[in-house]
Amino acid sequence: MVSTVDICNLALDELGEAAITALDEGSPVANLCSRNYAPARDQVLRSHPWNFAVARRRLARLAEVPAFGFAYGYQRPTDWLRTLSVHAGDGGRDAVPYRMEGDRLLSDAPDLFLRYIARVEDPNQYDALFVDALAMRLAARLTKAINQSTGEKERIEALYRDALRKARAVDGVEDFAEAVPDGSWLGVRG
């Protein structure tokens, strides 16, 4: 089992800092982790269609219709981080034109099904390689405040890019490759 504090401590280890016991312990380093953890997590989640973070939802149509351009408005899920695809049916093959405006999706489809990256807050849902990438992203965010070193920041950024590349590569091959209309293959699911 891994916790948010464990991930923060992995980042702090890389920076040569002492471990924390809680995000709210009041130490300067814990306060930095508390402020930076969620933005770092969401940034890494948005960066790739992680298998553990992909969600599907039939969207609730709003009573208020758009003023122009589209027939319907739909409420985006509260855990939404990034749209992967939008469909008129639950089969996932009938993509429809849409526009995102604020926390709404606009479309002419009378029903809307969304495939998206969800904000996953439970670290126990994360892949082990994602944990490494997140820890390095967090370390990169903390470097300037802790070390004030440009060289150290560049080193940590390089570690983050490498961890992210490895995590994406493994995550990407865990899906069945599907043919796309032009005959090529994608390692993504519909």
DSSP 3-state of 183:
coil
pTM (2 d.p.) = 0.87
DSSP 3-state of 187:
coil
Tell me which residue has tokens 């903390």. 142
Q: Where are the domains of the chain?
A: 4-49+127-186, 51-118
Hey, which residues does 115 pair with through a beta bridge? 56, 85
In this prediction, residue 119 carries a pLDDT of 98
List, for residues 123-154, the tens digit of each pLDDT value: 999 999 999 999 999 999 999 889 877 888 99
Residue type, 169: A
99 Rama sector, left if φ>0, alpha if ψ -120 to 50, beta otherwise? beta
Instruction: Identify the helix (H) or strand (E) that includes residue 139.
Output: helix 128-147
Q: Stretch 161-183: mean pLDDT, rounded? A: 79
Average per-residue pLDDT for the chain: 91
List, for residues 15-53, the tens digit of each pLDDT value: 999 999 999 999 999 999 999 999 999 999 999 999 999
